[in-house]
Each structure stands twice: as C-alpha cells, then as structure tokens.
Amino acid sequence: MSTATPHRTPQANRLAAATSPYLQQHAYQPVDWWPWCDEALALARDQDRPILLSIGYSACHWCHVMAHESFEDSVTAELMNRLFINIKVDREERPDLDKVYQTAHQLLTKRAGGWPLTVFLTPDDQKPFFAGTYFPPQPRHGLPAFNQLLQWIEQTFREKRDAIRTQSQRLTEVLVELKPTAGGRLPDASLLEAAMRQLATSFDDEYGGFGRAPKFPHPANLELLLRHHALHGGEREPEVRALEMATFTLERMIRGGLADQLGGGFCRYSVDDQWMIPHFEKMLYDNGPLLALCCDAYATTGDPLFQQAARATADWVVREMQSPEGGYYSTLDADSEGREGAFYVWDRERVRSILSEAEYAPFAAVYGLDRSPNFEECWHLHGCATPAEVAARLALEPAEVEALLSSARAALFAERERRVRPGRDEKILTAWNALMIKAMARSARVLDRPDYLESAEQAMRFIRSRLWTGKRLLATYKDGKAHLNAYLDDYACLLDALLELLQTRWSVADLEFGVKLAEVLLDQFMDDEGGGFWFTARDHEPLIHRPKPLEDDSLPSGNGIAAHALQRLGHLLGEPRYLDAAWSTLKLAGESVRRMPYAHATLLFALDEHLEPPEILIIRAEGDRLETWRRQAQEGYRPRRLVLAIPSSTTGLPGTLAAMMPGERPRIYRCRGTHCEPPLESLDGL
C-alpha cells in the first residue's frame, strides 16, 4: 500500500456529472480525470500529451484496489496530471471502447486483458502504444510500480516517437487483418459435432465446467449441450454425454459457492476448480442467461434443484435488482466495508449462535462449516455434501433435513440483511435488461409465475418509454438521463427478448416494436458488402477500429443473437430480408467458427436453425382454450419450437400471420421454414 497520505480535493472533478457510478467513484480523487469526450481528445492533441486511458466498472474489486492505492494518492495524482491527459471510461457504458482497447492490449502484450485496463494512447490519433491491467504502487509479482511506469512511459513517448509511430502503424494493420472477411464457406452441421467434441475434451469430470480455474459459467456452452441432447433424441452416447456435462456443471454451480445460497443469484466466476470461492460481484448479464438455463434444465430433467435455483435467482432479481421505474440495475459490488466478500462470508460460532442445534448440524454438514475455513479464516457457504447424503449420515428423513436447511437459510438471510450491503450500480443498460427480460419471460412460462412475467413487462415498458426515441435505442439510463447511441448487442438482445415475451403472452405492439428493431439492425449495423453486423452503428463516433464480434465472451455474441433472432422473425413473418441477413452473417462467420467451434455457441444456435428451420405453431383461439393449448404446446424443452398464442379476435396481423385466421373453430397452424401444413383443430395432430 502507498505510504503517502491520500489527498481528497474538496472540489469534485469532471466525473461528478457522469451518469456512470464507476466514474462517480473517481469524482473526488486528486487525479484530473476526464470522461471520454471531444474536449479531452482535443486537449491531448493541443498539448501533445499522451492519454492515460483507464477502463473499469463499479463492481470490479481490482479496480477498487488500484483506485485506493494509486488514484487517491496525491504523489501519483501529481505525476498523472503533469504528464498525461487522464481519461476514465466505464466499460459497461462504452463497450465499444472496451472492445477496441482490450483487443489492442491482447495484441501488444500477447495476454488476455481484463479490468482495470490501463492503456497509453498517442494524442493525435488515440492509438495505443503501451497496455496493461492492474499496476501496484510498489514493484511486485513481476510488475513495475505504477509511478515508475508513468515516468518511463512519458520518457519513451518523448524519446522514441518514430518507434511508437511504426508500432502504431503495424497495430492498425493487424486490426484490419482481424476483421472477418466476406467470401467464406457457409458452416455446416459438422461444426455442431466439433463443438461437442471440444467441450467434451476440456470437461472437468470431477467438478464440472471446462478447463481449470478461474472458471466462468459459460451459459451459452451449457445451452448448446442441452440443445444437442434435445434435438438428437438423447439416446446415443454423445447426446447422453452432452446432457451429463450440462446438468452436472449447472448442479455444481448451484450447490457451490458461485451461487448465493441465502439470497439467490450467481457471482461472476470461481477462482478455484471446485466452484467454491467466487469473485463476489453479481452481474445482471450473467444472471439472465443462467436463469434461463436453469429453466431449460428443469424443463429437460424435471429435477427440482434447477427449479429452486431458477426461483431463487428470479426472486433475487425482483427483490434487489429491479428499479421502482421498472428497469433492472446492473451489478452488485464484490466489496463491502472495504473487503471483498465481506457481505457473504460467515464466522462459524456466529452461525451456531443464530441457528438451533437441530438446524446447525445438517446446515454445517451441507455447507462445509464442519471443515476448515475456506475464505480468509471465515466460511463462504459451499455445498460440500448433498442434503440426501447428510440425511443418511445423520439418520434423518430427507424431508426433515430439507425443512431444517430451509429454516436455517431463512434465519441467516435475515441476519445478513442487517449487514452493510455491497454497492449497487444503478445504471440501467439496454442489452443487459434484454437478457434478463428474456430470462424472466421464460421463467414465468416454465415455472408458472405470473409475477415474473409482470417483472419482465415492467422492464420492457421502461425501455420503450425511456430508452427508445421512436426511431433509435439509447444504451444507458441513470438518474433520469438516457444517453449514448445503442450498440449491436442492445438491438439484437432486445429483439430476442421480444420474441421470448411473445411466446409467453401475445402483444401486437411488441411484434411491431420487434420489426422496428430489426429494420434498424439492417439499416445501421448490417455490412451489406461483407455480411454480418458491426458492433457500432453507421453514424457512431469513429474509433481506431470498428469491431464485428463473432465469438461469445462475457455476453453472447451480438452477431449470433442477431442472426438467430432475425432468422426466427423472418420465418414468422415470411420476410426474406431478415433470412438473408442471417445467412450472410453465418457465411461471414464460417472460417472463425471452423477455427474454434465451441467459442461460437450463439452462432451455432443460428446455424442449427438455418440447417433445420424452427417449428412455428400459431394458435388462434380464445379464453381457456387459447391458454390450455399454449401450455400444452410448450411442455418440455423444445429449443426448435416457437409457439405464439394469438386471440381469435386479433386482426391486422403482419406478413404471413395475416393468413392464419381462426375460421369457424379454433385452429393451430404449423409451419417449418417456407412450408405450412393445413390447420389443425386439436393438438392431437401434432
């Protein structure tokens, strides 16, 4: 830690006016911070000073550490202010900048990036010439002291401009080379099998998941495994293996420390192989796909463990992450009271004092309190044994153990609610909200919870009223202010969420809104010449690189979601432009998918439905008949089935839906691709 006395200026810097809580966290530091803006970039050019670009987010533990050690230190701040133009960026508000400079970091260092991301840019064209992540205040772990680095960077910039210019030119050339190019071959079904083999090769048979620590949930890969099992009958060994890998991994995450055993929801990743100790921040974008995955696993297996995990996650979202205005907040911090995980971990004797003796014995055995501490002399709750195993060990009935565990969790949850809570990032992001809207709509349908549907509809109404201008989406909202042009992920994920909502309850307005989003995707993001979708719109601020991301990362691939959703909408409405856009995206992605199939799970969903179009059921009926048929048609896990229950009285439907009228009796229309069968008058014909 720095020995210099931290200095807090009584006057806020420019970040105080930002909507980002992350930027506001740095508003009273002695660093002369700028947000990313034209004025800051112009000042760097005019003064010929390099830019120190720092990218992070509010829930990031190591961002907090570097802020405390360096940015709050007056000596470090003086160096930064004298030598650089200092720009702070929230990676959640500006994923465009984060994608560009994370890629540059990887090229410059030959290592994966992360946060905080620390990049030094040339003042005239914002090209990076040095990059890293966290830097300590004193040299350690092979890293230089941050102050030493600052002085060396500035000296290098002054003395080696020609070398920096040459490196920047080469970096620019490599960024151009990274862009996927047109002319590739369309992927084929063999890539779906190749992805299965790759996942099986890296699967951890002992603890679940893929590879070694740190372990991330990767819900798209688990969904790919569930789809593979469901679509191929589940009888051959590969399909059985796919189901085992998906459900075993999800079970270990649910029972382990990645899941909040008291309050619901999942943390970002595990630092160990066992899913025991997480990085304690909770991200909306993780919990949306994981909630949907728990619903799919429950629909597939009927295992109540997945049902319970889905309910716990959805209840946490409604209780802690939904704003009074309707939108969903972004994150919960990893830290509270200045320590990572402090809100979540327990002292064993304190637990013993809260619980009855009858409760404590099974609780300690299930969650590891009968073992050595697992987190800084404390206990983070981790499923070391199943309730059934503990029931047998204690000679108790399984139902009795479950009841004791439930009452123990309730008592500890009530006690935990008295603690100082982690910080909550209350900005509302369009793409992240879309992921959760989709998950809440699916959980409403699978778990028969109308309150979850109401939650999803509140969030969708919020987006329509606050983040949709009538023609374009905005990316972020906080404190009454919506701003920043939306990105590919915002449009693609929201279209996908609307299609999920339409399967839970019909709305002409939502279908019309979905068509508007699709048209903006084609108009502003589609690469008409090369295929696929750019991450930023045509009228977006020019940056040193315009990404066209194909692989899944912390969020599912925007190109994959766009191709999948447009393909479904195209089949539903008979709109060939949407189908063509999906086809061109798959064709563009062909070579990238061939190199690493498992890293493109979302694009593989779209490929699967390109090779075999989804089954679309349109139900035209009224009242109880409409609802009963919808429920029956959606039973089980049917990833290639799209069911829309439209009241008979609804008229003026768009596209091919206009021809699907109920007639004298209720009817069910069944279509696949461009072929529709004669209408049915009962589900028996299916």
What three-state secondary structure class fits 377? coil
Query: Would 6 be classed as within a structural domain?
Result: no
pLDDT score for 4: 42
pLDDT score for 34: 98
Q: Looking at the structure, do residues 540 and 436 belong to the same domain, yes or no? A: yes
What three-state secondary structure class fits 325? coil
- Which residues lie below 8 Å from residue 572, measured CB to CB, with a gap of 6+? 616, 642, 644, 655, 656, 657
Q: Looking at the structure, do residues 529 and 586 belong to the same domain, yes or no? A: yes
pLDDT score for 686: 73
Q: Residue 419 and residue 262: Cα distance in Å, rounded?
A: 14
Q: Looking at the structure, do residues 157 and 227 belong to the same domain, yes or no? A: no
Task: Give me the residue label for tokens 């970039």.
Answer: 41
- Per the structure block, which two tokens stand in for 238? 């590969």
Q: Which of 430, 436, 437, 550 is nearest to 490 (CA)?
A: 430
Calculate Rg over the CA atoms of the chain: 26
pLDDT score for 238: 80
Q: Looking at the structure, do residues 220 and 315 belong to the same domain, yes or no? A: yes
Q: Which of 418, 448, 481 is the last residue of a domain?
A: 418
pLDDT score for 424: 97
Query: Would 151 be classed as within a structural domain?
Result: yes
Summarize pLDDT for 371-397 with one digit per residue, the tens.
999 999 999 999 999 999 999 999 999
Q: Which of 611, 645, 675 is the last residue of a domain?
A: 611
- Which residues lie below 8 Å from residue 151, measured CB to CB, with a gap of 6+? 79, 83
Count Cβ atoms below 10 Å from residue 384 Cβ, excluding itself: 20
pLDDT score for 10: 52
- Per the structure block, which two tokens stand in for 377? 């002399």
- Which residues lie below 8 Å from residue 296, measured CB to CB, with a gap of 6+? 223, 226, 442, 446, 637, 639
Q: Looking at the structure, do residues 489 and 509 belong to the same domain, yes or no? A: yes
User: Residue 245 belongs to a domain with what CATH number?
Assistant: 1.50.10.10
Query: Could you give phi then psi for residue 291, rounded to 5 degrees?
Result: -65, -45
- Which residues lie below 8 Å from residue 532, measured CB to CB, with a gap of 6+? 180, 526, 548, 550, 559, 584, 585, 588, 589
Query: Would 221 be classed as within a structural domain?
Result: yes
pLDDT score for 1: 36
- Which residues lie below 8 Å from residue 25, measured CB to CB, with a gap of 6+? 58, 64, 67
Asked if 134 contacts 62 with a C-beta cutoff of 8 angstroms, the reply is: yes
Range of the domain at 524: 190-337+425-611
Task: Give me the residue label for tokens 């970091």.
Answer: 105
Q: Residue 667: which H helix or E strand, with range?
A: strand 667-672
In 480-530, the DSSP E strands lie at 481-485
Q: Which of 126, 158, 178 is the last residue of a domain?
A: 178
Q: Which of 646, 630, 640, 648 is nearest to 671 (CA)?
A: 640
Q: Looking at the structure, do residues 449 and 405 belong to the same domain, yes or no? A: no
Torsion of CA 326, 327, 331, 332, to 10 degrees: -10
Count Cβ atoms below 10 Å from residue 500 Cβ, excluding itself: 21
Q: Looking at the structure, do residues 599 and 626 belong to the same domain, yes or no? A: no
Q: Residue 168 and residue 174: Cα distance in Å, rounded?
A: 10
β 128-132/117-121 pair status: antiparallel
Task: Give me the residue label for tokens 């153990």.
Answer: 401
Asked if 534 contacts 548 with a C-beta cutoff of 8 angstroms, the reply is: yes
Q: Residue 77 and residue 5: Cα distance in Å, rounded?
A: 12
Q: How many structural domains are present in the chain? A: 4
Query: Would 9 be classed as within a structural domain?
Result: no
User: Residue 358 belongs to a domain with what CATH number?
Assistant: 1.10.10
pLDDT score for 89: 98
Q: Which of 318, 232, 261, 217 is nearest to 555 (CA)?
A: 217
Query: Would 3 be classed as within a structural domain?
Result: no
Q: Looking at the structure, do residues 596 and 531 belong to the same domain, yes or no? A: yes
Q: Average pLDDT of each block of 10 consecutive residues along the chain (686 residues)? A: 42 93 96 98 98 96 95 97 98 97 95 94 96 95 94 96 93 87 81 96 97 97 96 80 97 98 98 97 98 98 98 98 98 94 97 98 98 97 97 97 98 98 97 98 98 98 98 97 98 98 97 98 96 97 95 96 98 97 96 96 98 96 95 96 96 90 87 89 81
Query: Would 471 be classed as within a structural domain?
Result: yes
Query: Would 8 be classed as within a structural domain?
Result: no
Q: Looking at the structure, do residues 58 and 120 belong to the same domain, yes or no? A: yes
Asked if 447 contacts 311 with a C-beta cutoff of 8 angstroms, the reply is: yes
Asked if 681 contacts 629 with a C-beta cutoff of 8 angstroms, the reply is: no
Count Cβ atoms below 10 Å from residue 75 Cβ, excluding itself: 16
Encode 404-414: b = buried (16+ Cβ within 10 Å), e = exposed: bbeebbebbee
- Per the structure block, which two tokens stand in for 77? 């701040």
pLDDT score for 178: 83
- Burial, 248: exposed, middle or buried (Cβ in 10 Å; 0-12, 13-18, 19+)? middle
Q: Would you list the DSSP string of 60-115?
A: -HHHHHHIIIIITBHHHHHHHHHH-EEEEEETTT-HHHHHHHHHHHHHHHSS---S
Query: Would 569 be classed as within a structural domain?
Result: yes
Q: Looking at the structure, do residues 411 and 379 belong to the same domain, yes or no? A: yes
Q: Looking at the structure, do residues 604 and 639 belong to the same domain, yes or no? A: no
DSSP 8-class letter at 330: -
Q: Looking at the structure, do residues 530 and 646 belong to the same domain, yes or no? A: no
Q: Residue 253 and residue 16: Cα distance in Å, rounded?
A: 39
Q: Residue 430 and residue 424: Cα distance in Å, rounded?
A: 17
